[in-house]
Amino acid sequence: MPVAAVKDQPGVQSQAKFVPGPILLLGAPGAGKGTQARLLMDAWRVPQISTGDLLRELRKDPEKSASPLGVEIRQLMDSGRLVTDELVQAMVAERLSAADTRNGYVLDGFPRTLAQSEWLDAELARVGGVVPVVAVTISVGYTELLRRLTGRRNCPLCGRIYNVYSQPPKQDSVCDVDGTALVQRPDDSEDVVSQRLKTYETLTAPVIAHYRQSGRFAEVNGELPVDAVTRAVADAIVRLRS
């Protein structure tokens, strides 16, 4: 579904002037979190804040790379070491101070842990005038996630993506566009996917518990059609803000 179409969906159109505030979308790999994030960003005109994007931007932007924070982060990355929570948090805090976050934003890849969730709550409270984060998880069953991820095949020539279960090519194992043999990414094998899902569940469980206990959490069925999931997510956010 085109991103712009979210504006015309029942339950979303009436929220065009809604101020969503900070939103954390959660979902296992294959749950459709990225698709839903883009739709909500377009509907409510808020940015997506991804720690991965921030790190890539820092390396590409000479000014940011030369700042004291940028130098420290770049040195860690260049040496192959992990960027510490403290530095990631400082980077996120800097991004949250930008003017385009005034009405809200969709968080991607942060917070990943309970400690990061607690830091974010404290940071928003410290700044003042900002509503707290609300979290919505897009829930998809294990079997369906396996079908979505292990069934993916892509064309190495044109980049088109298929799924052998839900969106197969017209001719088995070859691209409809150019006839190139389709390939499966190594990280889409069943063993790797299973481990990715277990890792996600382990990391995310404390984060979900944190927001659930604070009354700022909702769960929606991610196995519905895309537009139905979008409406459910939007409705959940509005309800949590009421």
pLDDT at position 31 is: 94
pLDDT at position 79 is: 82
2: CB partners within 8 A, 6+ apart: none
pLDDT in tens, 82-132: 788 899 999 999 999 999 999 999 998 899 899 999 999 999 999 888 899
pLDDT at position 49 is: 92
How do 161-163 and 152-154 pair as beta strands?
antiparallel
Buried b (16+ CB within 10 A) or exposed e, 204-233: beebbebbeeeebbbebebbeeebebbbbb
Torsion angle, alpha carbons of 188, 190, 196, 202, to 10: 160
pLDDT exceeding 70 applies to what percent of the chain? Answer: 93
pLDDT in tens, 17-63: 789 999 999 999 999 998 999 999 999 999 999 888 888 888 887 77
Distance CA 212, CA 229 (A): 20
Catalytic residues: 33, 112, 152, 185, 196
182, 110, 190, 204: which is closest to 145 by C-alpha? Answer: 190
Phi, psi of 149 (to 5 degrees): -90, -50
Neighbours of 5 (CB within 10 A): 15
pLDDT at position 10 is: 46
Distance CA 202, CA 80 (A): 25
Give the domains, in start order, of the chain with CATH numbers.
Answer: 3-46+103-150+186-241 (3.40.50.300)
H or E element, residue 134:
strand 134-139
Q: Which position has the higher pLDDT, 73 or 209?
A: 209
pLDDT in tens, 129-161: 889 999 999 999 999 999 999 999 999 999 999
pTM: 0.83
